[in-house]
């Protein structure tokens, strides 16, 4: 089969012929239809410090996918050959206190498909049956291929009660934009998203009913005044990983404001903890999705009218992977989906 492989310890990714995976008794084999290129994949493509320390050379990459089950293991129940599926990319160890309590997303023994385990940038991928999420008929393969990042957005946006609240999102990448759409869908009052890239802010306004703010050109206090906000934002969703963005967010929250943190800084930075203490701010780190509550909620929202399809800005054949990764690494404003069939 064709597979995109981290074949060398240097920047880049390569298409190779690999054997179709052999499944175990608790696995399924998925014929991949479509895949999304993730920020994690770009770290691997660029071969930065994190990737060099984390990803084994020779690994088939990719973890955002949709496809069809073509084989099931002997012990698999409640799944069938021919089902359209996506799935959770975090494979948990099942031995920790968290897993035994059903809090699978907190398992410290988690391994990532396409990061530690063979991934989905391939014609076929082996997935534990536990991780498989069947796709409703209303959700096509294209949306199925971006459920992983949408799940990040849903997990972040629903970290706090945002019904009727004013929400500030820093970072108008695809996940930030989808987080804005989720916030509006579930009933936030004002949703403001900030960035310095005008193309990403334009896309945010096309995808969701939000107020885009270019922080190079606009004053956030002025924007708040026009919206009739007297005290500040109730909830912040930090999606950029930029220290300055987090600092700005804290300065524009109400007393007792709440922040969900998904963006990962490139390196450590100095931070004024006194602002958190004296203004009684709640910080909550977010990683991945809650298994499997986030999946249930995002599928339900998509079936009830949440529309994030416009966040996909390019659709390309898998054979054109070199151009796709070049675009993604160059800061493509939206998601790139690769077609494998």
- How far, in Å, are 51, 234, 246 from residue 271 at the CA level? 26, 21, 9
**Secondary element (H or E) of residue 27:** strand 27-36
d(CA 174, CA 153): 9
d(CA 230, CA 146): 37
What residues form DSSP beta bridges with 185? none
> Is residue 156 annotated as part of the catalytic site, yes or no?
no
d(CA 319, CA 303): 32
Per the CB < 8 A criterion, the answer to whether 67 and 341 are in contact is no
Among the listed residues 33, 43, 190, 252, the single catalytic one is 43
Name the residue among 242, 234, 297 with its Cα closest to residue 265: 242
**Phi and psi torsions of 159, nearest 5°:** -65, -30
Q: Collect all residues with Cβ–Cβ distance below 8 Å to 78 and sequence separation of at least 6.
A: none
**Secondary element (H or E) of residue 100:** helix 97-100
Strand, helix or coil for residue 66? strand
- How far, in Å, are 192, 237, 262 from residue 159 at the CA level? 17, 9, 11
Q: Collect all residues with Cβ–Cβ distance below 8 Å to 249 and sequence separation of at least 6.
A: 168, 170, 233, 236, 238, 259
- How far, in Å, are 210, 264, 334 from residue 337 at the CA level? 24, 23, 10
Among the listed residues 33, 35, 40, 185, the single catalytic one is 40
What is the DSSP annotation of 153-181? HHHHHTSS--TT--EEEE--SHHHHHHHH
d(CA 204, CA 303): 21
Residues annotated as catalytic are 40, 43
């Amino acid at each position: 089969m064709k597979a995109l492989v981290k074949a060398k310890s240097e920047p880049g990714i390569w298409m190779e012929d690999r054997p179709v995976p052999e499944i175990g008794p608790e696995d399924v084999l998925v014929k991949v239809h479509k895949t999304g290129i993730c920020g994690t994949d770009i770290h691997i493509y660029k071969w930065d410090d994190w990737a060099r320390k984390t990803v084994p050379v020779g690994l088939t990459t990719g973890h955002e996918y949709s496809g069809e089950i073509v084989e099931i293991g002997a012990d698999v129940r409640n799944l069938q050959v021919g089902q359209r599926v996506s799935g959770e990319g975090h494979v948990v160890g099942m031995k920790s206190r968290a897993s035994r309590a059903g809090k699978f997303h907190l398992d410290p023994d988690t391994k990532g498909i396409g990061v530690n385990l063979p991934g989905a940038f391939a014609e076929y991928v082996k997935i534990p049956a536990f991780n498989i999420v069947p796709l409703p008929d209303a959700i096509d393969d294209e949306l199925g291929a971006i459920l992983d990042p949408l799940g990040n957005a849903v997990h972040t946006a629903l970290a706090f009660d945002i019904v009727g609240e004013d929400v500030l999102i820093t970072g108008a990448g695809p996940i930030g934009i989808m987080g804005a759409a989720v916030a509006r869908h579930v009933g936030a009052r004002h949703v403001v998203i900030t960035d310095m890239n005008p193309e990403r802010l334009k896309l945010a306004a096309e995808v969701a009913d939000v107020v885009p703010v270019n922080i190079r050109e606009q004053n956030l206090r002025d924007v708040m005044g026009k919206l009739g906000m007297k005290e500040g934002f109730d909830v912040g969703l930090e999606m950029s990983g930029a220290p300055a963005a987090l600092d700005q967010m804290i300065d524009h929250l109400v007393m007792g404001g709440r922040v969900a943190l998904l963006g990962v800084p490139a390196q450590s930075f100095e931070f004024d903890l006194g602002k958190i203490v004296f203004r009684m701010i709640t910080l909550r780190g977010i990683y991945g999705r809650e298994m499997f509550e986030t999946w249930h909620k995002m599928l339900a929202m998509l079936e009830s009218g949440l529309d994030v399809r416009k966040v996909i800005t390019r659709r390309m054949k898998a054979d054109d992977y070199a151009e796709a990764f070049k675009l993604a690494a160059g800061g493509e404003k939206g998601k790139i989906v690769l077609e494998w069939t």
